[in-house]
């Protein structure tokens, strides 16, 4: 056997069995989880990688977006798929950070798989990984707080005082004028948030994005409709929040039921995958997201009616 053949066989062996991290394998599929480091300080970024290696005739359902990462802030994420010999390799990675010191555990990720000829899916899990987050505050180097400086003497400026007094009196006069000014009553009736949302959903449906396969435009408009409705209905600045900021707010919010929170997490997570990770969903997935948004509006619309009674 030539040296080149020996090196190739050794490379294949190292690729399948020498990759670092926590892993669990079955005969036709292998799951590996890895952290680039397991001891960090508060706010320091770590990379969590989930790798699935399966035979080419196996269908794999990847875990949901951010599964098991609720105790971490997701700074970035991505996924890729490639083939090697007779196997398919799926790789999902997350850039994470934590602002709570202590020991945290990334729980096992659940992966469903089956051979194409089978009807039932089987389940395989990755192993849990522990992360130690250390505080930046230590007893050896305590912070020293210095006393503030006393007030400084500032020469009185009569010109500036007169200028400020003129502005103040002018503002008071304008306020009094507009307060007592006789204005015509406004005849404009504000459309309730749920009715506005229904009209926007009908308009989105008429654009035929799904028929053209333009999933990115579909999810951009769908997530904006949902954010706009939440902002109008609950007075939450949803349009100004990132997805992770909204998820963090959602964990403490008592506006929504557990079912409604799950709808919001699923729709926004799926939207981010399509918009930023170039994920290509099925048409059925997009229609299910559309129905979930309408269902959420239906449920919270009834709460508006109860408030007005």
Out of 58-72, 80-94, 277-291, pick the least confident: 58-72
Q: Identify the pLDDT of residue 19.
A: 42
- 197, with CB counted inside 10 A (0-12, 13-18, 19+), is buried
Q: Identify the pLDDT of residue 17.
A: 47
pLDDT tens digit string along 198-224? 999 999 989 888 888 888 899 899 999
Task: Please state, in angstroms and as integers, the Cα–Cα distance from residue 226 to each residue in 43, 159, 191, 235, 285, following that order.
Answer: 30, 53, 16, 13, 17
Buried b (16+ CB within 10 A) or exposed e, 162-195: eeeeeeeeeeeeeeeeeeeeeeeeeeeeeeebbe
Across residues 65-72, what is the average pLDDT? 76
Q: Identify the pLDDT of residue 187.
A: 53
Rounded to 10 degrees, what is the CA torsion of 53, 58, 59, 62? -20
Q: Identify the pLDDT of residue 128.
A: 92
**pTM assigned to the model:** 0.40
Name the nearest CA neighbour of 54 among 92, 22, 27: 27
* DSSP structure class, residue 242: -
CA distance 114 to 244: 33
Lookup: tokens for 186: 């406004």
Name the nearest CA neighbour of 193 among 163, 234, 158: 234
**Residue carrying structure tokens 């062996």:** 13
Q: Identify the pLDDT of residue 140.
A: 56
CATH class label, 18-134 = mainly beta
Per-residue confidence at 233, pLDDT binned at 50, 70, 90? confident
283-308 and 258-276 helices, crossing angle to 10°: 140
Give the residue extent of every domain in the chain.
18-134, 193-308
Q: Identify the pLDDT of residue 224.
A: 93
Q: Identify the pLDDT of residue 150.
A: 67
Across residues 298-302, what is the average pLDDT? 80
Point out which residues pair with 130 in neighbouring strands: 105
Task: Give Cα 199 to chain centroid, integer Å.
Answer: 26
User: What is the spatial order of strands in the sheet that 73-84 belongs to?
Assistant: 22-25, 29-35, 46-55, 87-97, 73-84
Q: What is the mean pLDDT of the chain?
A: 80
CA distance 17 to 23: 10
Q: Are 55 and 28 in contact (CB under 8 A)?
A: yes
CA distance 297 to 302: 9
Q: Identify the pLDDT of residue 23.
A: 47
Pairing of strands 122-125, 29-35: unpaired
H/E stretch holding 178:
helix 158-180
Residue 1: pLDDT above 90? Answer: no
């Amino acid at each position: 056997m030539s040296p080149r053949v020996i090196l190739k066989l050794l490379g294949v062996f190292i690729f399948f069995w020498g990759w670092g991290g926590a892993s669990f394998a079955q005969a036709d599929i292998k799951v590996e989880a890895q952290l680039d480091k397991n001891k960090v300080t508060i706010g320091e970024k770590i990379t969590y990688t989930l790798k699935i290696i399966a035979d080419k005739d196996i269908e794999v359902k990847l875990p949901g977006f951010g599964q098991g990462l609720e105790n971490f802030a997701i700074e970035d994420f991505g996924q890729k798929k490639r083939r090697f010999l007779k196997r398919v390799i799926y790789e999902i990675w997350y850039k994470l950070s934590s602002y709570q010191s202590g020991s945290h555990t990334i729980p096992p990720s659940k992966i469903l798989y089956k051979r194409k000829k089978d009807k039932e899916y089987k389940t395989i899990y990755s192993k849990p990984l522990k992360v130690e987050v250390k505080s930046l505050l230590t007893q050896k180097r305590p912070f020293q707080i210095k006393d503030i400086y006393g007030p400084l003497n500032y020469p009185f400026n009569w010109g500036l005082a007169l200028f400020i007094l003129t502005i103040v009196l002018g503002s008071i006069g304008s306020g009094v004028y507009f307060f007592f000014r006789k204005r015509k009553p406004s005849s404009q009736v504000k459309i309730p948030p749920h009715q506005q949302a229904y009209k926007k959903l009908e308009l989105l449906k008429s654009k035929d994005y799904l028929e053209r396969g333009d999933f990115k435009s579909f999810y951009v408009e769908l997530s904006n409709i949902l954010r706009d409705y939440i902002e109008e209905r609950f007075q939450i600045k949803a349009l100004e929040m990132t997805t992770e900021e909204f998820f963090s707010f959602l964990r403490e919010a008592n506006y929504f039921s557990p079912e409604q929170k799950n709808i919001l997490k699923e729709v926004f997570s799926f939207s981010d995958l399509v918009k930023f990770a170039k994920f290509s969903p099925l048409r059925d997935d997009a229609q299910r997201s559309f129905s979930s948004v309408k269902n959420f509006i239906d449920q919270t619309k009834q709460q508006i009616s109860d408030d007005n009674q």
